[in-house]
């Protein structure tokens, strides 16, 4: 009898495990409806301390050269299979006589803040190394300016504070040009122009735009342009859920915790290519 009970419970555990795996695999198989609908527009830039004009100008000039000679476009295509680089001539930074360039040269490095949840712009690979489109842009800038770059983990929302404290010397990683950014940082010319992209849960049928999501729950990144946009778009959502990254918003969609997410276009392209599969 004792042997029979052991066999019975062992079989029960196997069956429970199979059911759990089927549920997990079912959830992970949900990709979402990549509608192709885009909203608004935003541009990415690199942020520096307000008083670090000399350092910012050096990188801005190198960035302009990268864009002009096609290097930036090749980096973008390598990651996204499309070129989103901003090719219009940006406003040239004025000369500055501050000590910022001298300071980083004396230190032998520039401390670059990166948000390691900003797929596919800056994130960590399987070897825990910082990689991504923006990481490659910065590495090329480092080569052109002959200043060694050291990446420092920095959530995008903390960038201004870490610049002010001296923990980082600049920030790159889907940093949107705009009022809030420019109020707190000295920014380079925009180097990439993108939009917001809507992804809808596979559980939602017959809707392909924000205007159809009345009384539904939408997910966005906190303190983002997407949050500003959904608050102004006029749709009466049942809830606007905020997350610390597009990455986490997207996986809440896959778990059916929200009906849709509004994310930045590079992330949507990256996710649709299947690069975020578990």
Which option is the CATH number for 42-194: 3.40.50.1100, 3.40.190.10, 3.40.50.300, 3.40.50.2000? 3.40.190.10
pLDDT tens for 131-187 read: 999 999 999 999 999 999 999 999 988 999 999 999 999 999 999 887 678 888 999
CA 16 to mean position of chain CA atoms = 38
Q: What is the predicted pLDDT for the residue at 93?
A: 85
CA atoms of 165 and 90, how far apart (whole Å): 29
Output the CATH code of domain 32-38+195-272: 3.40.190.10
User: Please, what is the average pLDDT of the chain?
Assistant: 88
CA distances from 14 to 2, 3, 23, 26, 28 (A): 19, 17, 14, 18, 21
pLDDT tens for 50-67 read: 999 999 999 999 999 999
Q: Looking at the predicted structure, is the pLDDT value of residue 237 above 70?
A: yes
For a pLDDT cut of 70, what percent of the chain falls above it?
Answer: 88
Cis peptide before 217 (omega within 30 of 0): no
Q: What is the predicted pLDDT for the residue at 13?
A: 44
**Residue 179 buriedness (CB in 10 A; 0-12 / 13-18 / 19+):** exposed
Query: Region 8-34: what's the mean pLDDT?
Result: 50
CATH 3.40.190.10: which residues of the chain? 32-38+195-272, 42-194
| pTM of the full structure | 0.85
DSSP string computed for 69-106: TTHHHHHHHHHHSS--B--SPPPPPPP---SHHHHHHH
Give the DSSP letter of residue 220. Answer: E
Q: What is the predicted pLDDT for the residue at 271?
A: 94
More confident residue, 24 or 223: 223
């Amino acid at each position: 009898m004792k042997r029979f009970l052991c066999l019975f419970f062992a079989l029960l555990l196997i069956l429970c495990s199979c059911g759990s795996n089927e549920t997990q695999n079912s959830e992970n198989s949900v990709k979402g409806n990549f509608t192709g609908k885009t909203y608004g527009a935003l541009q990415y830039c690199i942020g520096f301390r307000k008083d670090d004009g000399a350092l910012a100008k050096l990188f801005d000039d190198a960035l302009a050269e990268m864009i002009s000679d096609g290097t930036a476009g090749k980096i973008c295509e390598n990651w996204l299979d499309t070129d989103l680089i901003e090719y219009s001539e940006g406003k040239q930074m004025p000369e500055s006589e501050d000590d910022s360039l001298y300071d980083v040269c004396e230190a032998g490095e520039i401390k670059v803040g990166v948000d390691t949840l900003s797929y596919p712009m800056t994130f960590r690979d399987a070897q825990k190394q910082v990689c991504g489109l923006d990481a490659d842009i910065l590495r090329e800038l480092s080569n052109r300016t002959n200043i060694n770059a050291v990446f420092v983990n920095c959530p995008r929302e903390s960038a201004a504070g870490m610049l002010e404290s001296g923990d980082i010397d600049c920030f790159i990683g889907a940093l949107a040009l705009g009022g809030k950014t420019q109020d707190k940082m000295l920014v380079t010319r925009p180097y990439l122009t993108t939009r917001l992209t809507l992804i809808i849960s596979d559980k939602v049928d017959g809707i392909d735009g924000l205007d159809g999501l009345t009384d539904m729950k939408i997910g966005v990144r906190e303190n983002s342009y997407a949050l500003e946009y959904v608050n102004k778009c006029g749709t009466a959502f049942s809830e606007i859920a905020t997350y610390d990254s597009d990455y986490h918003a997207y996986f809440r969609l896959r778990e059916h915790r929200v009906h849709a997410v509004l994310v930045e276009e590079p992330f949507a392209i990256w996710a649709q290519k299947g690069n975020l599969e578990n």
